[in-house]
Chains A and B, each alone.
Chain A
Amino acid sequence: MVVRGMGKYLVNLPAVTGRRLVIALPLIWLAVFFFLPLVETLQVSFTSPRRGIPPYEPLWGIGDDGFFTNFTTGNYALLLQYWSDYFGPAFNSIKLAFFSTLVCLLFAYPMAWWIARSNEKWRTILLVLVMLPFWTSSLLRIYALIGLLNPNGFINAAGLWLGLIDAPIQMMQTDFSIYMGMVLTYLPLMILPLYAVMVRLDADLLDAAADLGGSGIQIFRTIILPLTLPGIIAGSLLVFIPAVGEFVIPALLGGPDQLMMGKVLWTEFFRNRDWPVASAIAMLLLAILTVPIIYGRYQDGRDVVAEAPNPKRAEAG
């Protein structure tokens, strides 16, 4: 131990520098590769497009005549101007994401409860079943969904063949296909936080409530729901926030009526080559999501102790 006498305390120098390194490495990486890009995007959102590489004017620079800047709020003015083209999708994104979250919750809650209340063996099996789709590409799963929902896809073919329907039902490019795609993609993300909370729920609490006269619904309302609320919130945020900016699902499953911000950004960027506007849209997206993101961080810190007491154990694995 190296002692660095500062009078008041003994400091283990190698340990301290080790610590600083461990903190600094990821901090610097993330600052450079996550935070700085956002700053850069903000900058670009205030410039204008041009031919060439990169396809936008530099925000500022030192030229022959000295300092110059290409600052313009034109992109945001454009967004405002074409409200129906840009802000419409914004609200559509929020609306679709919101209802997708609800649908996910509707399915995820019973599934998570089922898994949490099963015995050890079944629990592992069910968890594997839930995670398995998650480990396989979401792109492929959505592709599979197309095959299912297409006018000449499996469901329509089966329905026609069984005589249940007379003509193919239009399921693609509807809100319904978006919701199905969202559920397919995000269900495991909703299940896991719910499961984590439910599995720690002390079974005695439910017995106690029953013993004290609670019916099934009363027990759910007064005990289960309040104690699983943190899981509900965590899962909902985990689904809602990425869903707002989702691109692949509306691109492959949605039609012109299901325009979402992700798709608009993509189109502006890759088709129209208008990077500044795309950046402005990205900033707009971030602005919309700031409140949920901060709320999520705030929720992370709070904890309701609903667990049965368990001693800390150190098992190798």
Chain B
Amino acid sequence: MAPFIRLKSISKHFADVVAVDDLSLDIEKGELFCLLGASGCGKSTLLRLLAGFESPTKGTIEIDGQDMAGVAPADRPVNFMFQNYALFPHMCVADNIGYGLRRAGMRGTELAERVDALLKLVRLHKLGGRKPHQLSGGQRQRVALARALARRPKLLLLDEPLAALDKKLREDTQFELVDIQEKLGTTFIVVTHDQEEAMTLAGRIGIMDAGQLVQVDAPRRLYERPKSSFVADFLGTISFVDAVVASRDKTSITIGGDLNICAACDDDLPVGVAVKLAIRPEKIYLSRTKSGNVNEIEVVVEDLAYLGFATNYRVKTASGQMFKLQQQQRRSLDAPLSWGETGYVHFDPQDVIVLQD
């Protein structure tokens, strides 16, 4: 069965700028998909292409099997939620939400009941008569969401929906958004630059850079098994080690140099090839004394930041290799290390990611 949304080799050129570069993507029905990337990576352009506000220079967009070429925004089974909400300032909340329904010909009690149901869905039940400028930022956001859901679109596009909210509100709204999506079963595509948001909301994330999709995966796989150092570095924190394969066996490789790190690796990498090893900070353990583990390296504490629930360390080896690690606050036999002290890090070969770029 063809996927619900299929983007085939989509490119979009603006004058001499290539905003989207030969991008292909399949999205399943009922997914909550996130497009994640830095400013200018093309994610908002891609969203606007799906909405119909722009036409692709090359490639096709299919929604539920239907080719969207030449189809106006008004005629697509798609609705758009704008980053700064774009609420109609001269209409009250109820009229804003009902706008799309009126255009579809709905009137009278049917219209009023539907608007009422939507107001209840986004918990704005008593505020139907207010004007947008009389609402708080969070309330306006919910009006924008209700308005975009009114016509029961097959696909809902959300452009940085939580960017304008403050932190606490953002956290609460994230879960609300997921709830609503699961309740309605509508396919959502959310564009964001905030990785934590993407990780919280999405079933799958597509990381974009310079108009292309770098990797598309579930959050866990993106974090634990990034396929490129760009993705590895983009999500969370990571330590990189540049090295050359010194020896290998069936399930692991060892790099040369004074670090002598062993990494689990299924790929057939010949000796002598350059690799980049990457390790997540929570996978690196720090202790005062040698413990005889694999991949144990002597380091000096360069810097530390006490966060309460954990401490972030920056440690350096004699040869200048830097590691960033996070140590959970827990009872341990050693006193925690401080600036300038010597210690030993170690990490499991299974936790070492082998990258080749």
Contacts of A204 in B (CB 8 A): 82, 84, 86
**Does A152 count as interface, using CB distance less than 8 angstroms?**
no
Complex Cα gap A204–B159 (Å):
12
Question: Which of B86, B150, B151 contacts A202 (CB under 8 A)?
Answer: B86
Complex Cα gap A305–B133 (Å):
8
**Does B88 count as interface, using CB distance less than 8 angstroms?**
yes
**Does A214 count as interface, using CB distance less than 8 angstroms?**
yes
Contact flags (1/0) for A183-220 with B, using CB distance below 8 Å? 00000000000000000001011011111111100100
Given A210-B74, A211-B53, A214-B103, 19 more pairs with CB closer than 8 A: A202-B84, A202-B86, A204-B86, A205-B88, A208-B80, A208-B82, A208-B88, A209-B99, A210-B73, A211-B79, A212-B74, A212-B151, A213-B100, A213-B151, A215-B74, A226-B90, A304-B89, A304-B90, A309-B84
Contacts of B74 in A (CB 8 A): 210-215
**Does A223 count as interface, using CB distance less than 8 angstroms?**
yes
A306 touches B53 (CB 8 A): no
B80 touches A207 (CB 8 A): yes
| In the A-B complex, the 3 residue pairs with the closest CB atoms | A212-B100, A213-B103, A204-B86
Contact flags (1/0) for B62-104 with A, using CB distance below 8 Å? 0000000000111100111010101011100000000110011
**Does A172 count as interface, using CB distance less than 8 angstroms?**
no
Question: Which residues 14-44 in A have Cβ within 8 Å of B in the complex?
Answer: none
Complex Cα gap A215–B103 (Å):
8
Min Cβ gap B188→A in Å is 15
**Does A182 count as interface, using CB distance less than 8 angstroms?**
no
Interface size for A (C-beta < 8 A) is 22
Complex Cα gap A304–B91 (Å):
11
**Does A248 count as interface, using CB distance less than 8 angstroms?**
no
Complex Cα gap A300–B53 (Å):
35
**Does B190 count as interface, using CB distance less than 8 angstroms?**
no
B72 touches A212 (CB 8 A): no
B86 touches A208 (CB 8 A): yes
Contacts of B75 in A (CB 8 A): 213
A211 touches B51 (CB 8 A): yes
Size category of the B interface is: 20 to 34
**Does A232 count as interface, using CB distance less than 8 angstroms?**
no
**Does A308 count as interface, using CB distance less than 8 angstroms?**
yes
Complex Cα gap A114–B335 (Å):
72
**Does B12 count as interface, using CB distance less than 8 angstroms?**
no
Chain A at the B interface: mostly helix, strand, loop or mixed?
Answer: helix
Complex Cα gap A307–B151 (Å):
26
**Does B346 count as interface, using CB distance less than 8 angstroms?**
no
Contact flags (1/0) for B145-168 with A, using CB distance below 8 Å? 001101100000000000000000
Complex Cα gap A226–B75 (Å):
24
Complex Cα gap A218–B148 (Å):
18
Complex Cα gap A196–B205 (Å):
42
Min Cβ gap B89→A in Å is 5
Min Cβ gap A57→B in Å is 56
A212 touches B82 (CB 8 A): no
**Can you pick out 25 interface pairs between chain A and chain B where the beta carbons lie within 8 Å of each other?**
A204-B82, A207-B51, A207-B53, A207-B86, A208-B82, A209-B88, A209-B99, A210-B74, A211-B52, A211-B74, A211-B78, A211-B79, A211-B148, A212-B74, A212-B100, A212-B150, A213-B75, A213-B103, A214-B74, A214-B103, A218-B103, A226-B90, A304-B90, A305-B89, A309-B84
**Does A265 count as interface, using CB distance less than 8 angstroms?**
no
Complex Cα gap A124–B104 (Å):
39
Min Cβ gap A221→B in Å is 11
**Does A260 count as interface, using CB distance less than 8 angstroms?**
no
Contacts of A178 in B (CB 8 A): none
B89 touches A227 (CB 8 A): yes
B99 touches A210 (CB 8 A): no
Contact flags (1/0) for A290-304 with B, using CB distance below 8 Å? 000000000000001
Q: Which residue of A lies closest to B157 (CB)?
A: A211
Min Cβ gap B139→A in Å is 16
Contacts of A213 in B (CB 8 A): 74-75, 100, 103-104, 151
B103 touches A212 (CB 8 A): yes
